[in-house]
Amino acid sequence: MNKKSTLKKVLKRIEKYRLLVVLSLLMAAATVILTLYLPILTGEAVDGIVAKGLVNFTGLFKILKTMVAVLVATAVFQWLMNIINNHITYHVVQDIRREAFEKLEKLPLKYVDSHSYGDIVSRMIADVDQFAEGLLMGFTQLFTGLLTIVGTLFFMFDINVKIALVVVLLTPLSLFVAGFIAKRTYTMFKKQSETRGEQTSLIEEMVGNLKVVKAFGHEDENQENFDEINGRLQKYSLDAIFYSSLVNPCTRFINSMIYAGVGITGAISALNGGISVGQLTCFLSYANQYTKPFNEISGVITELQNALACAARVFELIEEEPEVPEKKDAVILENANGEITLEHVYFSYTADKKLIQDFNLSVKPGQRIAIVGPTGCGKTTLINLLMRFYDVNEGKISVDGNEIRDITRGSLRTNYGMVLQDTWIRGGTVKDNIVIGKPDATMEEIIAAAKASRAHDFIKRLPQGYDTVLGEEGGNLSQGQKQLLCITRVMLCLPPMLILDEATSSIDTRTEIKIQQAFAKMMEGRTSFIVAHRLSTIREADIILVMKDGNIIEQGSHEELLAQNGFYAELYNSQFAG
């Protein structure tokens, strides 16, 4: 994504606040006009002092009063302009961040699976903040700078055309230097932003898995990885800062040359009677004010390079392909019976690595389907397809006779209750975490669900019971307690179809037996899919699917599969040998 297209996207979002932009421009124009009026007053004051004893004090006091009034008005207009610019900047940033977050929720899971969490977080937080700083500086200094340049040129040409031409002819040097350096800073800032995202990703991964790192003594390797990324970030940052810092001194040098040229030309003209001393004073003030914006604008350009580089990364996220949109006539699935069929399903995460091939399955309402097999055989992938987290490459999956691509995603997933091996606890109270699927649940319903999942006892022991606030990822709760809360969520909703993916993997055997009893009661009359490695937990399933390399190689009841003395029997006997 190049600078030009990124800038167009930024301007498109600013267009929403065009009325405020116009007000900002008016405030900037008023500020510049009043600022440029001051040198005229200064020149008049100088011309009022003719010689010793020949001073027009009446005129001087009048000019001083006018100068004070102009300074106060300038300060007020500048203050208003800054307020408006802040309002525009942070509303644009708010819109972009909201747009990015909304897009994140619409992106297919394959995007999240293929990008590091740290990089996504860096785009939405650090990059947007950097963009805000550059945009604010652009609004604050760019408008006033450009208007000052135009205004000073007008006044200089009005005073003396020849001296004004000296200024104009030397100006392109300053613009050339600033443009030459700015082209090189954008690339550096883009690399800096990308590397910062890489670093954030590594830190996020490190902090989130610190126990594993320490357990396997991986600190040195992590430190080496961090040092390597940090070294690259240091190099890109130094290069970006070096090139960007060249702009100001280079333009200042050229602007000083312009000022000296104006002083010499003006002095010669004053000696020849071309302009008065007061006009020369006024002209030198304008020459200084004319060159000053070039220094400021060069700094703004540098910041804008960084801002545009960061904005480009955010827009890349915003413009990612969303998940396949739902059909206009998509069916809203209500109270599903639980009849599920999979017909000639093919699926793979990447084209070069086949996974599920010609998968067929027919599930009657209320059946309990257990899925077993070695790691990587496609058990969790099958769950992802049933929930439509991924779409099949070929074939179709139907619920109650409706292909799931013809059903709205929201209504399809509402009809499933899902408990995964990986728990997710949001920041909030215990109650907030339980009612995610049923926000209007009463306290009696919540307690009943917690008792059914065997979570009620440990919840009551918490400092504020159901009102205990849990920190990020569940705070100090054990993995088993977090899993009990996830089970309670499903117990509260009681949807017509259930998916239990290693739902009791983090729970002790005694509690597991009780929960299995609760599950058995909950699964009555509900179509259920149970993924489990502990085969003792699935003996009561109506059908056990044995998967290997993405295919069903055996299916039947527990007794039937044992009698076949095949792969399932081998798995079962390996767990209960002796």
Q: What is the DSSP string of 287-329?
A: HHHHHHHHHHHHHHHHHHHHHHHHHHHHHHHHTSPPSPPPPTT
Q: Which residue has the tokens 């490695």?
A: 533
Q: Which residue has the tokens 């309990």?
A: 368
Domains of the chain: which residue ranges?
A: 90-318, 422-494
Residues 6+ apart with CB under 8 A from 567: 546, 548, 553, 554
Helices 443-452 & 509-522 angle (0-180, nearest 10):
120
Under a CB-based contact definition with an 8 Å cutoff, are residues 61 and 49 in contact? no
Residues 6+ apart with CB under 8 A from 364: 338, 339, 527
As given in the structure block, the two tokens for residue 330 are: 């998509």
pLDDT for the residue 474: 67
Residues 6+ apart with CB under 8 A from 225: 202
Rounded (10°) CA dihedral 291, 295, 297, 301: 150
pLDDT for the residue 283: 73
Q: For residue 460, what are the CA distances in angstroms to 38, 308, 467, 481, 488? A: 74, 52, 10, 12, 14
Distance between CA 488 and CA 547 in Å, rounded? 29
Nearest 5°: the CA angle 543, 545, 551 is 150
pLDDT for the residue 37: 82
Q: What is the DSSP string of 91-108?
A: HHHHHHHHHHHHHHHHS-
Backbone angles phi, psi at 458, to 5 degrees: -70, -30
Asked if the 422-494 domain carries CATH number 3.40.50.300, the reply is yes
Distance between CA 560 and CA 429 in Å, rounded? 47
Give, in words, the CATH class of 90-318: mainly alpha
The residues pairing with 559 across neighbouring beta strands, listed in sequence order, are none
Q: What is the DSSP string of 253-278?
A: HHHHHHHHHHHHHHHHHHHTTSS-HH
The SS3 of residue 450 is helix
Report, in this order, helix, strand and coil percent for the chain, each rounded to 5: 65, 10, 20
**pLDDT tens-place values along the chain, 578 residues long:** 567 788 888 888 888 888 888 898 888 888 888 888 887 787 777 776 655 556 667 777 888 888 899 899 999 998 998 898 888 888 888 888 888 888 888 888 778 777 777 778 888 888 888 788 777 777 777 777 778 888 887 877 877 777 777 777 777 776 677 667 766 676 777 788 788 878 887 887 787 677 777 777 778 888 888 889 888 888 888 888 787 777 767 777 777 777 777 777 777 777 777 777 777 777 777 777 776 776 666 667 767 777 888 888 888 888 888 877 888 888 888 888 888 998 988 888 877 777 888 888 888 888 888 888 877 777 788 888 888 888 888 999 999 888 998 998 888 888 888 887 777 787 788 898 888 888 888 999 999 988 888 889 888 998 889 998 887 666 678 777 888 888 888 888 888 888 888 767 667 777 777 777 777 777 778 888 888 776 666 777 888 888 887 777 888 888 888 888 888 888 878 766 54
pLDDT for the residue 73: 93
pLDDT for the residue 72: 93
Helices 479-493 & 509-522 angle (0-180, nearest 10):
10
Residues 6+ apart with CB under 8 A from 154: none
pLDDT for the residue 50: 55
Distance between CA 229 and CA 357 in Å, rounded? 41
Q: For residue 154, what are the CA distances in angstroms to 148, 168, 274, 459? A: 10, 11, 19, 76
Nearest 5°: the CA angle 396, 398, 402 is 115
Q: For residue 466, what are the CA distances in angstroms to 451, 470, 480, 491, 500? A: 13, 10, 17, 16, 25
pLDDT for the residue 76: 93
Distance between CA 526 and CA 398 in Å, rounded? 16
Under a CB-based contact definition with an 8 Å cutoff, are residues 393 and 347 in contact? yes
pLDDT for the residue 55: 66
Under a CB-based contact definition with an 8 Å cutoff, are residues 247 and 301 in contact? yes
Under a CB-based contact definition with an 8 Å cutoff, are residues 496 and 417 in contact? no
User: Could you tell me which of 177, 202, 15, 170 has the C-alpha nearest to residue 92?
Assistant: 15
pLDDT for the residue 220: 83
pLDDT for the residue 45: 77
Q: For residue 425, what are the CA distances in angstroms to 20, 205, 492? A: 42, 18, 16
